[in-house]
Amino acid sequence: MYGRGRTAPLRIANCSGYYGDRLAAAREMVEGGPIDVLTGDYLAELTMLLLWKARRRDPEGGYALSFLAQMHDVLGTCLDRGIKVVVNAGGLNPAGLAAKLRELAEAAGLHPSVAHVEGDDLLDRLPELTARGHDFAHLATGRPLAAAGVEPVTAHAYLGGWGITRALRAGADVVVCGRVTDASLVVGPAAWAFGWAADDWDALAGAVTAGHIIECGTQATGGNYSFFTEIPDPVHPGFPLAEIHPDGSSVITKHPGTGGAVTVGTVTAQLLYETGHPAYLNTDVVARFDTVRLTQQGPDRVAVGPVAGEPAPDTLKVCVNHVGGHRNSAVFVLTGLDLDAKADYAEAALRDATGGPTAFAGYDLRREHGHEVDRLTLTVKDPDPAKVGRGFFTAVAGTALAGYPGLYLEHAGARPSEFGVYWPALVPAAEVAAVTVLADGTRLPVPGPPASPAPSATPGRLLPGRAAPGLRPDAVPPPPPPVDGAPRPERAEPYGGRGAATPGRTVRLPLGTLVGARSGDKGGDANVGLWARDDDTYTWLRDYLDVPRLRALLPETARLPVSRYELPGLRALNFVVHDLLGDGVAASTGADPQAKALGERLRARLADIPEHLVEPPRAPHPDPGA
């Protein structure tokens, strides 16, 4: 039974966390146990740019090809068992992917009802929307898009789940989406199954929370997990599934007999991933992550919620990409004695040979320290591919026999690569009209969420407990540069920020001895969430780790604005380091452009930990309730 009378949980299984994830996951989830809905998340900001490049080569492409391979394996079984399939694999061309899937199904003698959702693509509408006063200002800088003098190649608004709901209510077996929010893949089916209304805020918030937990696949079942050594079978973890209840609460689990684990810790880690303010804005609702409670129900079963929800914002996030130019790099290995002198020698030689920073639009020289060797990487960017291609390679190669002793190159190419720049912006939700397109061509308009009873949060205006994307009401600005060698002053903290050491004896140990972390990118910002596994450790962590101490532990954050949030229900802190990643992953020249390792590097830093938390030596502390 589907609708308001359904009481049985809806079992939603994920089979993809990104474009390139494990191909066999769809078959594993369909054949590994009973499920009602199979979802897959294939899109990220970078993926939209990659799909644009694919569509330049093939105008009929622009979608995730791997989804078709997965459907070849499981579509017949899904139809036999009544399993619905909901994915965002449509990318830039959901209609094209829906048509292609129908062709493949017909060739196999199958006849699914395939619908798609469109309306997210705003590229052709940018001139019209700009002329009507929507400036698509960059969320970090406030600069209007038109003032940047760039030509966007993609522009997609993040749609919600109601287009999916309409398709399922109309009898679709497969729903192909383009740029919907990741959590919408769970919100849409849940709203269909339980007959939720558009203002069932708490239920919708619960579904958003479950969707956020399972959207990245095995990151919820032990992948990228700080305490991976405590998982008995960490290799080849099973993909997650969420059992959604009528009130929006859920249980996160996985199929029996699969690897990995589902614990309060693995779920907490994924909840913190790529988040900012605890008021987690989604197209259909604002989910209050600071109300989330997690309970270990049993082996590989974690109960989530209920979760408090608030009315949806009246703006939608828009992902704009434009071509930034071309880039190239050369990697020099430094080994043996006098490494500092060799690095200085190499830098001077490169400046002399290439013309230095003034010769290119971008010139980034970074040194990476290792155990046996150091690496010096020079990355150059420029609109002119010849300048950063053959010209750069020739200049670098010309230094090879005139350089420091032991010089050798790990990488130096004559061919530059094109890179893109991510431009996040907002547009009024009323300007975006989502449409569900059924298999017979019927077009069903998708109504938006009901108007908020109070003014919604928009840039420049902050409501109590709410924050719009791009706002930094709690960001601690970077400290001013020291004057005449004076010590750098510390700033007061808006959240916690106590900085006082716990009374009593302390021991100097890595922060990760007691604390887990998960980090990631959100455009040009990076977040790092940290959590404790018992109340005493959380109390210490909350009081110990303020923004000045974070800056001391991670020097690359010292001159950047940092936001700090407390989530006591999860025994967690979340830091957002603004502008750490510049123009986003596609344009980044850093070794870790998605900030995946930021949390683990922080865990490796030494901290003054109260002796009573670590002594006498004890066995690894299990997740609460395990």
CA angle 536, 219, 52 (to 5 degrees): 135
The answer to whether 347 and 374 have CB atoms below 8 angstroms apart is no
Whether the predicted pLDDT of 205 surpasses 70? yes
Output the six-digit token pair for 457. Answer: 């949060």
The position carrying tokens 């603004």 is 578
Give the long-range contacts of residues 467-473, CB within 8 A, separation 24 or more: 467/276, 467/277, 467/279, 467/281, 468/281, 468/313, 468/315, 468/426, 469/139, 469/281, 469/315, 469/317, 469/424, 469/426, 470/139, 470/140, 470/424, 470/426, 472/561, 472/563, 472/578
Backbone torsions φ then ψ of 301, nearest 5 degrees: -140, 115
- What is the Cβ-side half-sphere exposure of residue 392, based on CA atoms within 13 angstroms? 31
Q: Given this model, what pLDDT does residue 504 score?
A: 79
pLDDT of residue 54: 93
pLDDT band at residue 359 under the 50/70/90 scheme: very high
3-state SS class at 194: helix
* pLDDT tens digit sequence for 286-336: 999 999 999 999 999 999 989 999 999 999 999 999 999 999 999 999 999
- Percentage of the chain surpassing pLDDT 90? 80
Q: In the predicted model, what is the mean pLDDT of residues 514-538?
A: 94
Give the C-alpha separation, 395 to 140, whole Å. Answer: 36
Confidence at 553, pLDDT banded by 50, 70, 90: very high
Q: pLDDT tens across 136-179, in order?
A: 999 989 999 999 999 999 999 999 999 999 999 999 999 999 99
Is residue 621 predicted with pLDDT exceeding 60?
A: no
* Distance, CA of 272 to CA of 263 (rounded, Å): 14
User: What was the pLDDT predicted at 467?
Assistant: 35
Task: Look up residue 586 and give its two tokens.
Answer: 């596609």
Residue 484 has pLDDT above 80, yes or no: no
CA–CA separation, 219 vs 22, rounded Å?
Answer: 13
Confidence band, pLDDT 50/70/90 cuts, at residue 527: very high
pLDDT per residue as tens digits for the range 376-400: 999 999 999 999 999 999 999 999 8
Report the pLDDT averaged over residues 39-43: 97
- Domains of the chain by start residue, with CATH: 10-120+158-312 (no CATH), 327-420 (3.30.70), 475-614 (no CATH)
Cβ atoms 395, 354 nearer than 8 A: yes
Does the pLDDT at position 413 exceed 90? Answer: no
